Amino acid sequence: MKKFETKLITSGRDIKYTYGAINPIIQRTSSVVFNSITQQQQAIKNHNITDKLFYGRYGTITHFSLRQSMIELENGVGCVLYPCGTAAITHTILSFIRPGDHILMTGSAYEPTQKFCRYFLKKMNIDTTWFDPLIIGHDLSNLIQHNTRLVILESPGSITMEVQNIPDIVKTIRKKKSDIIVLLDNTWSAGIFFKALDMGVDISLQSGTKYIIGHSDGMIGTAVSNARCWDQLQEQSFLMGQMVDSDTAYMASRGLRTLYIRLKQHEENGLHVAHWLAQHPAVERVNHPALASCKGHEYFIRDFSGSSGLFSFILKQRLNNWQLSNFVDHFRYFKIAYSWGGFESLILVNQVEELHPIRPAGTLDFKGTLVRVHIGLEHPNDLINDLSDGLNRINIQQSI
Ligand SMILES: *Cc1c(COP(=O)(O)O)cnc(C)c1O
């Protein structure tokens, strides 16, 4: 069996995708020309086959190559591409859900995923129950209803970084109701450090906007499915017109070639900064999955093969607005921005009450300001100096 470092280099580079070059060709098209009625009829019959041209919306050679790479990377049987990670999540949900169904979702899920269920699916008579990300066994089993159709997981969770006991959760669900479909947002591990389908998850979702594209210059979403969900996922996503342009698909393929070495460096830099923060007197707790202080750390040790560069930490103090400005406004390297997974370091702050409306009661156990950082590929000592200066200036009075 090929190691995945090698798969990242070789996948999607068959001669039928590259035409003899090193990289897959960028094929931009809407129309595909058929030479005869017979050929057109054959194409209609084959339109769901992953690498047969039919019409631009169903993919071109560039897309076929990327899908093949994602299938190999995440050990699936099929992959659908979407214009962004959010589209991958919402359209995968829509591919399986019916009015009257029920969804179970981790309370640590990405906020737009939660809002989609709360504000969009609710209108279609689809209810969602949120649960503590650390739930296992009976507590989860008790939440499963006769109409539960989907369980949506994310590990580690957005912002608070709880690592879930995925094998136990999957086992509990399968035992209680085997037709439930289990989705997992696998963006944090980039499909490298956590093998979702091998752990029994049906569909692994990623915002390829993050590590796969890796340079903060494009957006794409991926859903890699196992055999039992593949036909329905592909057919329904095509019905909803989901696709991405060839140029962006190419950027994702290109990103895959260096994904592993980039991630290893994000990991090394991230750990360096996390360990430094853990001993800083202003810091209450570091939520980095590889540190024992992170909830679900034991599952991380058991199930993951590494960590990426995104984590959060909680300050002892709850910063007021001028303290927040003192801290965040003057970094040399950390930029204030959404998204992550590029080569650069980013920072965001959250007060606990900002998370409250989207989190189930009892799952937030802190009072200090939460800081989320993405550790980029700068030298970690420069990042530590930057953070150190930031923490030191929190209480400096501004001259007016
Ligand atoms: C960013 C992100 C998404 C959404 O991806 P977009 O490409 O920005 O739509 C989904 N899940 C997680 C965990 C993310 O961080």
Are 25 and 160 in the same domain? yes
Among candidate residues 239, 257, 275, the one where a domain is terminated: 257
Report the CATH number that the domain containing residue 304 is assigned in CATH.
3.90.1150.10
Sheet architecture: strand order including 346-350:
283-287, 310-315, 370-374, 346-350, 335-336
Q: How many CA atoms lie within 13 A of 185 on its CB side?
A: 32
**Residue pair 195/182 in contact by the 8 Å Cβ criterion:** no
Are 246 and 323 in the same domain? no
Rounded to an integer, the average pLDDT of 212-220 is 98
d(CA 289, CA 156): 7
d(CA 291, CA 165): 16
Bridge partner residues of 224 (DSSP): 79, 204
Instruction: Exactly one of 210, 257, 262, 285 is catalytic; name it.
Output: 210
pTM above 0.75, yes or no: yes
Find the length of the chain: 400
Rounded to an integer, the average pLDDT of 322-344 is 97
Ligand 1 atom nearest to CA at 86: 9
For residue 128, pLDDT over 90 is answered with yes
The amino acid at residue 371 is V
Instruction: Exactly one of 57, 122, 175, 302 is catalytic; name it.
Output: 57
- Express each pLDDT in 61-73 by its tens digit: 999 999 999 999 9
Which of 187, 219, 310 for a ligand 1 pocket mutation test, highest count of atoms within 8 Å of Cβ? 187
Question: In the prediction, which pLDDT does 50 show?
Answer: 76
Are 234 and 276 in the same domain? no
Q: What is the 100 CA–ligand 1 centroid distance (Å)?
A: 27
Q: What percent of the chain has pLDDT above 90?
A: 92
**Residue pair 170/199 in contact by the 8 Å Cβ criterion:** yes
For residue 398, pLDDT over 70 is answered with no
Are 290 and 176 in the same domain? no
Are 244 and 280 in the same domain? no
Are 81 and 212 in the same domain? yes
57 tagged catalytic: yes
> For the residues of 196-233, what is the DSSP string, one character each?
TGGGT-SEEEEETTTTTT-SSS---EEEEE-HHHHHHH
Are 186 and 288 in the same domain? no
Question: In the prediction, which pLDDT does 48 show?
Answer: 77
Total Cβ atoms within 10 A of residue 355:
19
The whole-chain average pLDDT of the chain stands at 96
365 tagged catalytic: no
| Sole residue written with tokens 């109701």 | 177
Q: What percent of the chain has pLDDT above 70?
A: 99
Rounded to an integer, the average pLDDT of 105-127 is 96
Ligand 1 atom nearest to CA at 219: 7
- Within 8 A by CB and 6+ apart from 235, the residues are 48
Rounded to an integer, the average pLDDT of 165-183 is 97
Are 321 and 238 in the same domain? no
**Residue pair 94/240 in contact by the 8 Å Cβ criterion:** yes
For residue 400, pLDDT over 60 is answered with no
51 tagged catalytic: no
Report the CATH number that the domain containing residue 65 is assigned in CATH.
3.40.640.10
Which protein residue's CA is at the shortest distance from atom 1 of ligand 1?
A: 339
**Residue pair 203/195 in contact by the 8 Å Cβ criterion:** no
Q: What is the 348 CA–ligand 1 centroid distance (Å)?
A: 15
Are 54 and 201 in the same domain? yes
For residue 224, pLDDT over 60 is answered with yes
> For the residues of 303-356, what is the DSSP string, one character each?
H-S---SEEEEEESS---HHHHHHHHTT-SS-EE-S---SSS-EEEEE-HHHHG
Which of 116, 204, 209, 358 for a ligand 1 pocket mutation test, highest count of atoms within 8 Å of Cβ? 209
Among candidate residues 257, 278, 304, the one where a domain is terminated: 257
Q: Which range of residues forms the domain containing residue 386? A: 260-399
Q: Which of 39-48, 175-184, 217-226 has the lowest mean pLDDT?
A: 39-48
Rounded to an integer, the average pLDDT of 134-146 is 95
Bridge partner residues of 131 (DSSP): 106
For residue 371, pLDDT over 60 is answered with yes
Among candidate residues 236, 257, 278, the one where a domain is terminated: 257
Question: In the prediction, which pLDDT does 309 show?
Answer: 98
Residue 281 CA to its chain's centroid (Å)? 32
Q: Which tokens hold the place of 87? A: 């589209």
Instruction: Exactly one of 17, 58, 82, 185 is catalytic; name it.
Output: 185
Are 330 and 243 in the same domain? no
Are 168 and 265 in the same domain? no
Question: In the prediction, which pLDDT does 397 show?
Answer: 79
Residue 48 CA to its chain's centroid (Å)? 26
> For the residues of 268-284, what is the DSSP string, one character each?
HHHHHHHHHHHT-TTEE
Which of 82, 86, 204 for a ligand 1 pocket mutation test, highest count of atoms within 8 Å of Cβ? 86
Q: How many domains does the chain have?
A: 2
d(CA 289, CA 192): 15
| Sole residue written with tokens 């060839």 | 246
Which protein residue's CA is at the shortest distance from atom 5 of ligand 1?
A: 85
d(CA 306, CA 235): 34
Question: In the prediction, which pLDDT does 399 show?
Answer: 57
Q: What is the 240 CA–ligand 1 centroid distance (Å)?
A: 20
Q: What are the CA-CA distances from residue 52 to residues 71, 152, 186, 304 (Å)?
A: 17, 32, 28, 36
Ligand 1 pocket list (CB less than 6 A): 84-86, 110, 158, 185, 187, 207, 209-210, 219, 221, 339
Q: Which tokens hold the place of 370? A: 């939460």
- Express each pLDDT in 251-304 by its tens digit: 999 999 999 999 999 999 999 999 999 999 999 999 999 999 999 999 999 999
Are 239 and 268 in the same domain? no
Which protein residue's CA is at the shortest distance from atom 2 of ligand 1?
A: 207
